[in-house]
Amino acid sequence: MHVVTLIAPPATCLTEARARRLAARLGAARWHWLAAEEAADLLFDAPPADAALREAVADAPMDVVSQPLAGRAKTLLVADMDSTLVTTETLDELAAAAGRKAEIAAITERSMAGTMDFAQALRLRVAMLAGLEEAALARTWAATRLMPGAAALFGAMRARGAVCAIVSGGFTWFTERLAARLGADAHFGNTLHLADGRLTGQVAEPIFDREGKRHALLSLAARHGVALAETMAVGDGANDVAMLGAAGLGVAFRAKPAAAAAARARIDHGDLRALLFVQGLPAPADARD
């Protein structure tokens, strides 16, 4: 069996009438709700053509994920932090405290698009923060907000015994706090150097970059005895491409073009609870963060 999961913002374009029409038009054997007027599974005896799926959905603000039914529920989740689990780029917000947000954000954009080497971009941005007081980290964290669906995703995955990890090209100062908030089993990132209560403008080597994220996924899978087919990774930028490609299911979440092109699945309209829906898991309606 094959499954196509349709996901849309609640009570928008995914009505019961539309779900029934799509199921009939595509020749689904049957369909059912995962969440009424938000997520539905269409079941097929054979995979429908991608072109037929695109034509059926047309320009509706709806995500479509097509995959084999067997093995869709995963036992290891590895998630990017900035602009994925949280709504902002924490380094860019930290730069605001130094009065250099615009120029640092421009470098971030190039790095996430894949037009600038990530390690080079990180060293350059951190150097621009030299002298910033450590208290700015706490203020940045206090203003950081979870991406809608992040708590529901981690809560539901952990409840079913899955391993959950956070990987970031950002800083362990933030990933440590986010891991505690979400109950993650592990977190990885870059370490800022501090001296006398201020940032030195340096970051520990080696830089945790796209290969670091991929290696973290592979290492966690090996450590916990999880087959790669049973893993899921989610991210939005060019430095997520390697881990998205290595995971059993790589999901580009509201992603830059480089990540969107590399991932097997894309979520452009739903929140992070969409990652539960694509596994066939219901998401609690009262846990949208």
Average pLDDT, stretch 221-246?
97
Q: Is residue 155 within a helix (H) or strand (E), and if so which, with residue range?
A: helix 150-159
> What range defines the domain where residue 108 resides?
73-289
Looking at the predicted structure, is the pLDDT value of residue 42 above 70? Answer: yes
Q: What is the mean pLDDT of the chain?
A: 94
Distance of CA 270 to CAs 21, 88, 125, 267, Å? 21, 17, 31, 6
Look up the CATH number of the domain holding residue 33.
Answer: 3.30.70.260
pTM exceeding 0.85 = yes
pLDDT for 49 equals: 92
Q: Which of 37, 70, 103 is the last residue of a domain?
A: 70
Does the annotation count 236 as an active-site position? no
Q: State how many domains the chain has.
A: 2
pLDDT for 140 equals: 96
pLDDT for 220 equals: 98
Do 52 and 77 fall within a single domain?
no
Does the annotation count 268 as an active-site position? no
Which residue among 63, 80, 92, 236 is the active-site one?
Answer: 80
pLDDT for 45 equals: 95
Looking at the predicted structure, is the pLDDT value of residue 243 above 50? Answer: yes
**Within the chain, how many helices (H) and strands (E) appear?**
12, 12
Do 79 and 174 fall within a single domain?
yes
Alpha helices in 58-117 (DSSP H): 90-97, 101-113
Q: Encode pLDDT of 161-213 as tens digits.
A: 999 999 999 999 999 999 999 999 999 999 999 999 999 999 999 999 999 99
Rounded to 10 degrees, the C-alpha dihedral 167/199/129/169 comes to -10
Which amino acid, 39? A
Do 54 and 78 fall within a single domain?
no
Distance CA 275, CA 56 (A): 22
Do 173 and 257 fall within a single domain?
yes
Q: What percent of the chain has pLDDT over 90?
A: 89
pLDDT for 113 equals: 87
Which residue among 45, 50, 59, 82 is the active-site one?
Answer: 82
